[in-house]
């Protein structure tokens, strides 16, 4: 039994380590091959590090800017969130700072700022989404968002928007306002790709119509740590038979497990899924 637990933990930490490595490599490629040649700024603390590098004429490089800006937040995350999360986030930040100069190049794939914004943003979104999917934070606004959610039970969208607006203004003042607009395009593309690769934060409501509600409820709760509500006395309009409706909310990432649980209990159950914009009450959030 102990060997199985150790194997599972090793597997979990392996995924976190690989997530941190992939984040560092992909971010460095996006920065060196697309953002720099296209004069495009990223969002968040990476964009802040780019702005510092520009304003200091390279005396404070992007690598040092990434490391220095994230250091105090990593210390706070270790005490307020979890040490494991802080350690792997620090690893992701350190590797990104390390790989930026390693992947430095004079090769210009294209000088077109629009192409650079789209492909750089896409790579950045893939890097961040993959890291988050592996349980690794990327520092900066990710940590601020988690701290706000933990303290105030709310998202930090306005803070993110204000912070990134300052970065875009910096891009406009530095390279010209057309580059600020290109940078905004890159941020939008990045946000879309984060949603594509990281589905844990996307919630889905599942409605299940079955004649085995108690068994369905017990199986879902045993297989997944999710609450279930049973609505009795439903009536089938076509069959005329009495049914029960089982409601639960899961993350997009958990949908395959939920569908499997439904099939294991009742192969003939009807179920439908709908996107959830907000949940209140005690929705289980795993420790970061």
The pLDDT value given to residue 114: 92
Q: pLDDT tens for residues 9-36?
A: 455 577 788 888 999 999 999 999 998 8
- Of the three residues 197, 220, 245, the one that is the final residue of a domain is 197
Full-model pTM: 0.70
Verify that 61 and 125 share a domain, yes or no: yes
Verify that 212 and 111 share a domain, yes or no: no
CB contact at 8 A, 117 and 136: no
User: From first to last of its 288 residues, what are the pLDDT tens digits of the chain?
Assistant: 434 434 444 555 777 888 889 999 999 999 999 988 888 888 888 888 888 888 888 888 888 988 888 888 888 888 877 788 888 888 988 999 999 999 988 888 888 999 999 999 999 888 888 887 777 878 777 777 777 766 665 555 556 677 788 888 888 888 888 888 888 888 888 888 887 777 666 678 888 888 888 888 888 888 877 778 888 777 777 777 778 888 888 877 677 788 888 888 888 888 888 877 666 666 666 555
Verify that 38 and 156 share a domain, yes or no: yes
- Residue 33 is assigned to a structural domain of this protein: yes
- Residue 143 is assigned to a structural domain of this protein: yes
- Residue 285 is assigned to a structural domain of this protein: no
The pLDDT value given to residue 3: 44
The pLDDT value given to residue 115: 92
Verify that 150 and 268 share a domain, yes or no: no
- Residue 247 is assigned to a structural domain of this protein: yes
Verify that 131 and 24 share a domain, yes or no: yes
Phi and psi dihedrals of 167, rounded to 5?
-65, -45
Strand order in the sheet with 203-210: 228-235, 242-251, 203-210, 270-276
- Residue 158 is assigned to a structural domain of this protein: yes
Instruction: Say how many domains are in the chain.
Output: 2
- Residue 288 is assigned to a structural domain of this protein: no
Which positions ≥6 away from 43 have C-beta within 8 Å? 141, 160, 164, 167, 187, 190
Verify that 6 and 90 share a domain, yes or no: yes
- Of the three residues 197, 226, 241, the one that is the final residue of a domain is 197
The pLDDT value given to residue 119: 93
- Residue 283 is assigned to a structural domain of this protein: no
Verify that 193 and 209 share a domain, yes or no: no
Verify that 88 and 184 share a domain, yes or no: yes
Verify that 44 and 105 share a domain, yes or no: yes
Verify that 82 and 123 share a domain, yes or no: yes
- Residue 144 is assigned to a structural domain of this protein: yes
- Of the three residues 147, 182, 197, the one that is the final residue of a domain is 197
Query: CB-hemisphere CA count at 13 Å for 282?
Result: 4
Q: How far apart are CA 109 and CA 105, in angstroms?
A: 10
The pLDDT value given to residue 173: 84
Q: Which domain holds residue 210?
A: 203-276
Verify that 133 and 35 share a domain, yes or no: yes
Verify that 216 and 251 share a domain, yes or no: yes
The pLDDT value given to residue 284: 63
Query: Which residues on neighbouring strands pair with residue 273, listed in sequence order?
Result: 206
The pLDDT value given to residue 155: 57
């Amino acid at each position: 039994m102990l060997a199985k637990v150790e194997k599972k933990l090793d597997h979990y930490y392996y995924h976190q380590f690989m997530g941190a490595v992939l984040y560092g490599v992909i971010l460095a490629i996006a920065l060196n091959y697309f953002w720099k040649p296209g004069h495009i700024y990223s969002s968040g603390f990476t964009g802040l590090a780019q702005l510092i590098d520009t304003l200091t004429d390279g005396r404070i490089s992007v690598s040092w800017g990434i490391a220095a800006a994230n250091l105090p937040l990593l210390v706070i995350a270790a005490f307020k969130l979890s040490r494991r999360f802080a350690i792997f986030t620090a690893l992701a930040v350190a590797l990104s700072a390390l790989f930026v100069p390693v992947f430095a190049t004079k090769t210009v794939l294209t000088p077109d700022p629009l192409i650079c914004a789209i492909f750089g943003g896409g790579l950045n979104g893939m890097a961040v989404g993959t890291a988050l999917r592996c349980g690794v934070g990327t520092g900066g606004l990710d940590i601020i968002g988690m701290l706000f959610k933990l303290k105030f039970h709310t998202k930090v969208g306005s803070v993110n928007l204000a912070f990134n607006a300052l970065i875009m203004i910096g891009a406009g003042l530095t390279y010209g306002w057309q580059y600020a607009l290109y940078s905004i395009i890159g941020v939008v593309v990045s946000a879309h790709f984060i949603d594509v690769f990281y589905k844990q934060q996307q919630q889905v409501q599942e409605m299940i119509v079955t004649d085995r509600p108690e068994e369905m409820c017990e199986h879902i709760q045993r297989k997944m740590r999710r609450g279930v509500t049973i609505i009795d006395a439903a009536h089938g309009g076509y069959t005329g038979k009495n049914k029960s409706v089982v409601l639960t909310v899961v993350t997009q990432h958990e949908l395959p497990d939920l569908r499997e649980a439904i099939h294991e209990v009742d192969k003939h159950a009807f179920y439908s899924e709908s996107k959830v914009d907000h949940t209140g009450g005690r929705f289980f959030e795993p420790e970061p």
